[in-house]
Structure formats: C-alpha cells, structure tokens
Amino acid sequence: MHSDDAAHPGPTTGGTDTMPPPRWKLIGPGLVVAATGIGAGDLVATLVAGSRYGYALLWAAVAGVIIKIVLVEGAGRWTLATGHTIFEGWRRVGRWTSWYFGPYIMIWGFVYGATAMSASALPLAALVPQLPGLGDVGWIADMPFIVYAILSGLIGAALVWMGRYHRLEKLVAVLVGIMFLTVVGAAVVTLPNIPQIIGGLVPRIPDGGLLYTLSIAGGVGGTITLAAYGYWLAEKGWSTPRWMKVMRIDNAMAYVISGVFVVAMLIVGAELLYSSGVAIDEGDRGLLDLSDVLAARYGTAFSWVFLLGFWASSFSSVLGVWNGVSIMFADFWGHVRGKEEGHPDRQIGGRYYRFYILWLTFPPMLLLLLGKPVQVIIAYGVLGSFFMPFLAITLLVLMNSRHMPAAWRNRPLGNIVLGVVTLLFVVLGVNQLVDAIAG
C-alpha cells in the first residue's frame, strides 16, 4: 500500500474488520444507490424506448445495468482499498476536480431539488383526489400541485436530517418492494412475448436510433449518487478490504434488481404502447399517461397501484439524494474549510451535511413557484453533461494510480471495460452539452 494511504485512516465511521455476514443479509448500500439512481425519468426513458422500438433496445438496457455495476464497483473498491472517500480520490487526480465539483454540486442541487420534488408530487396529485374518502374532502381534493411538491421535500429532509443511515436503508427497501410489486406487476399483466424478449437481447441499433441506444445504455440510473456509494459503505460499517467480496455481491444484486425494473418498463412500453401505437409524454408526466392507459385496459384500481409505484420510485430518489449527495457536499466543503478527513463536520449528520439538505429543499421551492429560469437550466445541462464522463475518467485514473494498493488496481480487462465506458460517456456528454446550449 502506498505510504500516504497506509498512514491515513480515512473516513471509516464504525466499520470493524470482522468476517462478512451471510449472503442473505447483504441487502445494503447497493440497493440504496441503485434505487436512488432509478427515478421516474429513467422509467419513462425505457418506457418510451419500448413504445418506439419494441424490444429492439432491450440489450442496451441490460448493458446499462452492467455499466453501472462497473462504475459503482470502482467507487466502492477505491473506498475499501484506500480508506479514502471518492472526493479525496478526485483531489489526488488534480486540483481541477474541485473547481469542477464545487459549482456542479451547487447548481445541480438547486435544479434537482425542484425536479425531485415535482416528480414525487406528480403521482400524489393524481392519486390522492381519486381515493375514496380522501377525494371527498374538499381541501384535499383541491390541494394545489405545489403543496404536494413542497411536502415531498420537507418530509424527505426530515427523514434524513439526523443522518441515520440504517433508517434510510430500511425506508428504501420498503420503497423498492413497492416498486417491484407495481412495476414488475405492470409488465406481467401485459403478457409479454417471451420469444421477442429473447430476440431483444441480440445487439442491434434501429434506424436513426444510435444516440437513443447510447442514452439507454449509459443514461438510465446514472447520477451523482453513483459516487455516493463509498460513503454509504462506510456508514454501513463495510470499511476495509476484507469487505470487498461483500461489496461486489451487494452492488451486483442491487443493480440486477434495478435492471428488472428497467426491463419491466421496456416490456410495458413494447406490449402496451408499441403494439397499439399509443404515444406518451417523454417527461415525468409520461408515467401519468401510462396510468391512464392502464386504467382503461385493466381498471382504475390497477392504475392506483401503479401510481403508488411511480411515487415509490420518485421518493426513493429524494431520500437517497437528500442523504447521499449531502454527505458528498459535507466532505467537499469540509476540505475547502481546511478540516481534516474524518472531521465530524465532513461526516453524515454534521453541519455541512445539514446545510446541503436545506439547500436541496428550500431554494428549489423558488423554481417551483417561478418556473425554471432558462439560464439555470443551461448551466445545469452543461455541468450535468460532464458528470458521468468526469466519474468514469477519474475512476480510470484512480484505479491505476500509485494511490491505489497494487492488489486492488485494475487488471487489463477492467481497464478495457472502463475505457469503453469512459468513451461512451464522453460521447453522451458532448451530445448533451450540444443539446443544453442549443436548447
């Protein structure tokens, strides 16, 4: 191990070098990062892919799951092998990483806060007035959309305010269970065509669908929360190289589950929309359109259940971001303020952590009230288009650097895979940058 890494205890906050638990107990940080990354927008993206191309892009959705496993494993391996957070890793790549990350996390949080609250409010605003009893109460039936959005942000902030990771993990597990029953249930009732599903696993790109294919492979479930995995590992107590195998199983299991969600939505798009030529909105409202289709086809009660799953998907992202990205900000800002790694202010539950929760919750309410200013959206798009390339490039550097213990550095095959992933995200990033500036 490099002397700098050996001497520095890093950010471990409660892990002990004990034997790993039985595999059946391995639901942990991987499930949180996967559930956080798969939000309403990702489900709509795969739903639209199914409605446009049938099963032709199923292979791309599966490839996307593998890509996320590679990236998250890299973030987890760095933390376990070195004892340092991913931000400390980025700092070793060069000072430029902080100059990028600082503005990014502030602008991203400002815009994402409004986006996440809106996504959580959409299914609630559609569902609650329809429910017997609640819908009959005048003030509930007439509640403005913005009230649902603000309540979503406030409740999310309250649930993660104390920084208790184990509570977060249990809440996310419940939400994932709801998602599984509703999203997979929606796929099952459409009676999917198994031979066509198998055919969809053969890689091919539909005419004019290159960028869409790349977006499905690289964009679904890809957010800043991928980089939060190492922080959640530390909170779980998995904090030394002895937990490497556990981490890898946890990561793979979680992304297989998220892959089931993605495939299920593509099946719904292919069977319910593609076959009948039904078009839906490409924003989060697309899931509301789908609930209307489900209501017409299978009854109102089924659409209610689906809206509950829509809410679970959106609110799990609120909880994960409000917790995970706030930890990342605390680590970053604590460094800017000259506090050593491991200082309480740089940890979950510290004052910088709570500041960022407030930043995610209250300033974005102005965007909900005023609409999203064009300049902010452009800045968000420009910075956001480079985060996944930034993560992939820095991981490729760190996994082969002198700061990484030799035993845990990338092997040639790992470098090839991560190199291909990096190229994919650079292409996607340039495309998103052009769209952000042009749009």
Q: What angle do CA 321, 325, 328 make, to 5 degrees?
A: 165
Query: What CA–CA distance (Å, rounded) separates 269 from 45?
Result: 10
Name the CA dihedral angle for 427, 208, 221, 381, rounded to a multiple of 10 degrees: 60
Single pTM value for the model: 0.90
Query: What CA–CA distance (Å, rounded) separates 323 from 29?
Result: 12
| Predicted pLDDT of residue 82 | 96
Q: Among 268, 317, 287, which residue's Cα sits nearest to residue 122? A: 287
pLDDT of 279 strictly over 90: no
Phi first, then psi, for residue 27 (nearest 5°) are: -65, 120
H or E, element range at 238: none
User: What number of CA atoms fall less than 13 Å from residue 185's CA on the CB side?
Assistant: 17
Averaged over 39-51, what is the pLDDT?
A: 87
Non-local CB neighbours of 236 within 8 Å, separated by 6+ positions: 15, 28, 29, 165, 169
% pLDDT > 70, the chain: 90
Quote the radius of gyration of the chain (alpha carbons, Å).
21
Range of the domain at 203: 3-438
| Predicted pLDDT of residue 14 | 38
Choice among 27-31, 121-125, 198-202, 323-327 with the minimum mean pLDDT = 27-31
Mean model confidence pLDDT for the chain: 88
| Predicted pLDDT of residue 353 | 98
pLDDT of 301 strictly over 90: yes
Question: What's the structural domain count of the chain?
Answer: 1
163: phi > 0 → left, psi -120 to 50 → alpha, else beta; which? left
- 């964009």: which residue's tokens? 219
pLDDT (tens digit per residue) in 234-272: 999 999 999 999 999 999 999 998 889 989 999 999 999
Query: What CA–CA distance (Å, rounded) separates 116 from 320?
Result: 11
The CATH code of the domain that includes 91 is 1.20.1740.10
256 to each of 45, 67, 325, how far by Cα in Å? Answer: 18, 12, 23
| Predicted pLDDT of residue 6 | 37
Pairwise pLDDT comparison (317 vs 275), residue with the higher score: 317
Q: Among 227, 217, 215, 2, which residue's Cα sits nearest to residue 100? A: 227
| Predicted pLDDT of residue 4 | 40
User: What number of CA atoms fall less than 13 Å from residue 280's CA on the CB side?
Assistant: 31
DSSP letter, residue 26: -
- 């939060």: which residue's tokens? 228
| Predicted pLDDT of residue 135 | 65
Choice among 7-16, 45-54, 56-65, 366-375 with the minimum mean pLDDT = 7-16
Query: What CA–CA distance (Å, rounded) separates 396 from 187?
Result: 37
Averaged over 274-289, what is the pLDDT?
A: 84
CB 340 within 8 A of CB 325: no
Choice among 77-81, 320-324, 373-377, 404-408 with the minimum mean pLDDT = 373-377
| Predicted pLDDT of residue 43 | 87
